[in-house]
Every structure is written in C-alpha cells, then in structure tokens.
Amino acid sequence: MPQRNATPQDRRRHAGSRQGITGRPGWRRWNRGDAAILGCGILTFLSLTAGAPLFHPAPLLSAGSAPASAPSVPGSTGLRAAAPVADTGMPPATAVAAQPPARTVAEEPPLPPSAPPIHLRYPDAGLDVAVQPLELDGEAQSTRTIEPPATKDGYWLTAFGTPGKGSGNTTYVIGHSWEGADAPFNHLSSAAAVGGLLDVQTAAGTISYRVDSVTTYLKSTLKDSPVWDMVPNRLVLISCYTEDPWGRNVVVTASPAVP
C-alpha cells in the first residue's frame, strides 16, 4: 500500500507510541538496580545501628597482654584463672620433688701393703701382745689341728693370709688361754664384743679392725666351720674358751675399720 507523507502531528503520534513501547521495559531495568542499591543501604544501616562498626574492628588480645591473675570478685567460686602461657608456647614447668641422694657404695679403708703382723693390741679385751710367725706342716694345714707354742705371745699362721692391701686370704692369730694364771688371750672369752676396735701392727704399717662376731665352737667341729673360709683381709683370733678350755674354742672375727 502506497505511503503518504507524514504530517508533524503524525510524527508526534508515532514518537509517543514508540516511547510508550520502549518505556515500560526501561522502567523494569531501573527498578531492579534501584532495589539492589536500596537493599545494600538497608543492610549497611542495620549493621551501623545494631552490630559492631564495620571499619573499626575490636583489637584482638595477645597472650602477652593477658593479666597474670584475675581480681577477686565477691560471690565468686574462688577458682583461679589459668596461668598465661610462656613465650615458648609451653606452660610453666612445675617444681620437681627433690630426690634423695643416691646411696654410695661402702667405703674401703686405706690399707698399707700386705706384710707380716708383728704386734696385736685389743684394749677392750686387755690384749697387748707380740705376734710371732708359726709355720705349719702339711698335716696341720689339712686337719686344721694346730697347737701353738706354750707361751703367752700370739702366733700368726703363715700358711694363710697376710694383712694389708693385696691380701688374698684371712689372717689368723692364735694363742693359749691359761688355767690358774692371767694370760692375754684369757680375756677374749669374757671381754671381746662385737663393735670393739683392735689394731694389728705390721712391717708396713698399722691396720685398725672392728669386731664382727664372737663365737664359741667345739674343738671337734672347728676344723669344718666357716672360720676357715677364704676372706681377704679378715682377721680371726682363736684361743681356748676359758669356761671349757679342753672342749671349746673362742673365735673372734674382725674386718678393717673405716676411719
């Protein structure tokens, strides 16, 4: 159909119609953007009025800034606050109970080199005698049946131990007890006691001993008793028991005394 020339009035009418067609979609796009902006504004307003400030966050407390102890509050339970953690990140070490000192091994007294005994002194038993060496034959050594000379001296059995450092056996000193006469070895039966001190003088020095035991044995059983056990640096004194001189022996054992 042929077109006629449009008049100014027609052009205005068409322009108005186009604006009406395109204006409604344009209004819908503006309404959504405005709603989004408005929603952000509402959220910001609520945050500013009801919550913490958005641009001024509360400072975090560090471990070092915590107080060492909390002040007492009336009516509180009395529980203490936990101690602050040290800079190492570990809690403070607790005190450890002191341990008793370790028990030391019993001290051994210093001894002079082993040498033959020459004198014996036992004040508590009134014993102060010279010591003579006594050689034993094979039978006396095997049967342990020994008869010292009939004197008031003491006699060291040379076949056994020698007192002093390096000794490998017991030192034996024997002597007679006398009937009807006062003799040094008589007092072993009545005055020797555990804990008493005695001294043995040797060619290398003097050794102090402390009495460990005082025992009587039947003469028939003495040879098989522990008296003859090999014990380095032990001292054994043997004599007749004055209460039964023909049937029993008195035996005193002693060990080097710690100063």
Confidence of residue 259 (pLDDT cuts 50, 70, 90): confident
The enclosing domain of 225 has a CATH number of 2.40.260.10
**Cβ atoms of residues 169 and 161 within 8 Å:** yes
What is the per-residue pLDDT for 106? 53
pLDDT greater than 80 at residue 114: yes
Q: Count of H helices and E strands in the chain? A: 3, 8
pLDDT greater than 60 at residue 41: yes
Residues 125 and 252 occupy one common structural domain: yes
Position 24: which residue type? R
Confidence of residue 141 (pLDDT cuts 50, 70, 90): confident
**Cβ atoms of residues 236 and 249 within 8 Å:** no
Rounded distance between C-alpha atoms, residue 77 and residue 69, angstroms: 15
**What is the arithmetic mean of pLDDT over 88-114?**
56
Residues 244 and 129 occupy one common structural domain: yes
Phi and psi at 173, nearest 5°, equal -125, 125
Residues 145 and 36 occupy one common structural domain: no
pLDDT greater than 60 at residue 20: no
Q: What total number of domains does the chain contain?
A: 2
Look up the domain containing 251 and give its range: 117-256
Confidence of residue 34 (pLDDT cuts 50, 70, 90): low
Domain membership of residue 194 (yes or no) is: yes
Rounded distance between C-alpha atoms, residue 214 and residue 55, angstroms: 98
User: pLDDT tens digits, residue range 225-235?
Assistant: 999 999 999 99
Q: What's the angle, vertex CA 84, arms to CA 81 and CA 90, rounded to 5?
A: 130
Q: Is the dihedral of CA 130, 136, 140, 141 positive or negative?
A: positive
Q: What is the CB neighbour count within 10 angstroms for residue 1?
A: 3
Domain membership of residue 82 (yes or no) is: no
Residues 247 and 164 occupy one common structural domain: yes
Residues 121 and 41 occupy one common structural domain: no
Q: What is the pTM of this model?
A: 0.59
Beta carbons within 8 Å of 240's beta carbon, 6+ residues apart: 176, 177, 185, 246, 248, 249, 250
Rounded distance between C-alpha atoms, residue 11 and residue 187, angstroms: 161
Q: What's the angle, vertex CA 257, arms to CA 251 and CA 259, rounded to 5?
A: 160
Q: To the nearest whole number, what is the mean pLDDT of the chain?
A: 74
Domain membership of residue 63 (yes or no) is: no
Domain membership of residue 147 (yes or no) is: yes
Residues 139 and 235 occupy one common structural domain: yes
Q: What tokens were used for 178?
A: 């006398």
Residues 142 and 235 occupy one common structural domain: yes
Residues 123 and 239 occupy one common structural domain: yes
Residues 140 and 230 occupy one common structural domain: yes
